[in-house]
């Protein structure tokens, strides 16, 4: 089995909650946005990261790129711990890591500068990472546009002249400009029409096959996660509750939360029986997380031990782990 391209071990991100007093602020608690998250991504693989809004998916992605500084844990890329590199702030070493790790944002409209042409947008990463090779920029811009299904003359247009799907193609091209090895895709198709989603997903699969890219794919759309992913990790309240190979996890989920999520996928069959599992209550506050298993207040199969002891991620088959005292 090949070595992991990206290794995340015990990653945590905590935000202190402060209350302003008469003369100073007092720390009254903390929000554990990400708590002890661990996973691996190998070259050419896609890990789908799913869960309800606010569970910590985007914070996990941003912590990997040090867009928010991790509170604890290790992040290794190609066997090298990158957290100390970001903390030391050596520009050359930081840029070397960022060339290999790139981000595709959720909203293709907000992530593009409306005052820049598409050509200027695609040249910006080249100016940062290849400042001594300006003679290559124009050729590289044309190559990137063709790579994502656009034409070279589109380089002279502005973002408002494109559809949402075309703007997302530009976002993907910008991420590919410096030839990365891993892309973090933060809900890249959530703001697009269904037909356009299929086009973007097919483009991502084609680029992965062509360039050997690895993806961390964050999404609420479980159908697209199943289509593009090789493995899936399920988050709840900042923690991983299940992770495994995509077909095994979708066919036989072991955690009750995963089972409830998958039951919400629409079935394209008129008159099909409604098998959706309705969870009771709301997601608890990340500041006041319940003791024991964080999912137990909403779990119909909770045992007394679930209210007292937090279950660790344990093996549940080949390449499959789940955190549950009373699995399905």
- For residue range 253-308, list pLDDT tens digits in order: 999 999 999 998 877 777 767 678 888 888 888 888 899 999 999 999 999 999 99
* Judgement on whether residues 35 and 65 belong to the same structural domain of the protein: yes
**What integer pLDDT is reported at residue 323 of this predicted model?**
96
Rounded CA gap, 149 and 37, in Å? 36
Alpha carbon of 323 to those of 255, 314, 315: distances in Å? Answer: 7, 6, 9
* Judgement on whether residues 122 and 60 belong to the same structural domain of the protein: yes
Closest CA to 59 of 79, 85, 31: 31
Q: Quick check: is 151 in a domain?
A: yes
Rounded CA gap, 131 and 123, in Å? 10
Judge contact between 265 and 274, C-beta under 8 A: no
**What integer pLDDT is reported at residue 54 of this predicted model?**
87
Q: Quick check: is 242 in a domain?
A: no
Q: Quick check: is 113 in a domain?
A: yes
Closest CA to 192 of 160, 169, 217, 215: 169
- In total, how many domains does the chain have? 2
Enclosing domain of residue 300 = 251-328
* Judgement on whether residues 39 and 167 belong to the same structural domain of the protein: yes
Q: Quick check: is 237 in a domain?
A: no
For residue 237, the tally of other CB atoms under 10 A from its CB is 23
Token pair, residue 111, equals: 């992530």
Rounded CA gap, 262 and 269, in Å? 16
Q: Quick check: is 271 in a domain?
A: yes
Rounded CA gap, 68 and 144, in Å? 29
Q: Is 239 helix (H, G, I), strand (E, B) or coil?
A: strand
Rounded CA gap, 229 and 247, in Å? 9
Place of tokens 């990137």: 144
Q: Quick check: is 244 in a domain?
A: no
Q: Quick check: is 98 in a domain?
A: yes
**Which regions of the chain are under pLDDT 50?**
none
Rounded CA gap, 6 and 277, in Å? 34
Q: Quick check: is 328 in a domain?
A: yes
* Judgement on whether residues 11 and 42 belong to the same structural domain of the protein: yes
* Judgement on whether residues 217 and 302 belong to the same structural domain of the protein: no
* 13-39 pLDDT, tens digit each: 999 888 887 778 888 788 999 999 999
* Judgement on whether residues 225 and 257 belong to the same structural domain of the protein: no
Closest CA to 102 of 47, 178, 164, 23: 178
Rounded CA gap, 314 and 137, in Å? 49
Judge contact between 225 and 216, C-beta under 8 A: no
* Judgement on whether residues 222 and 307 belong to the same structural domain of the protein: no
Rounded CA gap, 306 and 250, in Å? 24
* Judgement on whether residues 215 and 286 belong to the same structural domain of the protein: no
On the CB side of 212, CA atoms within 13 Å amount to: 6
Put the strands of the sheet holding 80-81 in their side by side order.
Answer: 25-41, 6-20, 72-77, 80-81
Rounded CA gap, 152 and 148, in Å? 11
* Judgement on whether residues 321 and 195 belong to the same structural domain of the protein: no
Rounded CA gap, 171 and 147, in Å? 12
**What integer pLDDT is reported at residue 2 of this predicted model?**
63
Rounded CA gap, 326 and 328, in Å? 7
Rounded CA gap, 78 and 62, in Å? 18
Sequence length of the chain is: 328
């Amino acid at each position: 089995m090949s070595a992991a391209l990206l290794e995340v071990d015990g990653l945590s991100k905590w935000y202190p909650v402060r209350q302003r007093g008469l003369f100073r602020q007092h720390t009254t608690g903390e929000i554990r946005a990400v708590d002890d998250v661990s996973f691996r991504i190998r070259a050419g693989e896609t890990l789908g990261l799913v869960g309800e809004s606010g569970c910590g998916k985007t914070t996990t992605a941003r912590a990997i790129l040090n867009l928010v500084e991790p509170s604890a844990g290790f992040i290794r890329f190609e066997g090298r711990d990158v957290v100390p590199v970001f903390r030391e702030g050596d520009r050359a070493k930081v840029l070397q890591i960022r060339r290999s790790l790139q981000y595709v944002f959720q909203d293709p409209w907000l992530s593009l500068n409306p005052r820049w042409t598409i050509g200027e947008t695609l040249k910006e990463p080249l100016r940062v990472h290849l400042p001594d090779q300006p003679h290559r920029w124009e050729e590289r811009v044309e190559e990137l546009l063709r790579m994502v299904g656009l034409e070279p003359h589109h380089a002279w247009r502005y973002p408002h002249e494109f559809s949402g799907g075309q703007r997302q193609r530009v976002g993907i091209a910008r991420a590919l400009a410096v030839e990365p090895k891993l892309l973090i895709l933060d809900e890249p198709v959530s703001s697009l029409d269904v037909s356009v989603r299929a086009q973007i997903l097919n483009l991502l699969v084609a680029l992965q096959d062509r360039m050997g890219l690895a993806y961390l794919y964050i999404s609420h759309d479980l159908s697209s996660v199943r289509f593009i992913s090789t493995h899936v990790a399920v988050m709840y309240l900042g923690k991983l509750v299940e992770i495994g190979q995509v077909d095994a996890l979708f066919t036989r989920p072991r955690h009750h939360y995963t089972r409830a999520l998958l039951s919400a996928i629409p079935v394209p069959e008129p008159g099909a029986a409604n098998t959706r599992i309705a969870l009771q209550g709301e997601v608890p506050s990340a500041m006041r997380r319940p003791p024991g298993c964080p999912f137990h207040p909403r779990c119909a199969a909770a045992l007394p031990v679930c209210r007292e002891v937090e279950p660790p991620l344990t093996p549940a088959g080949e390449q499959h782990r789940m955190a549950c005292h009373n699995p399905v």
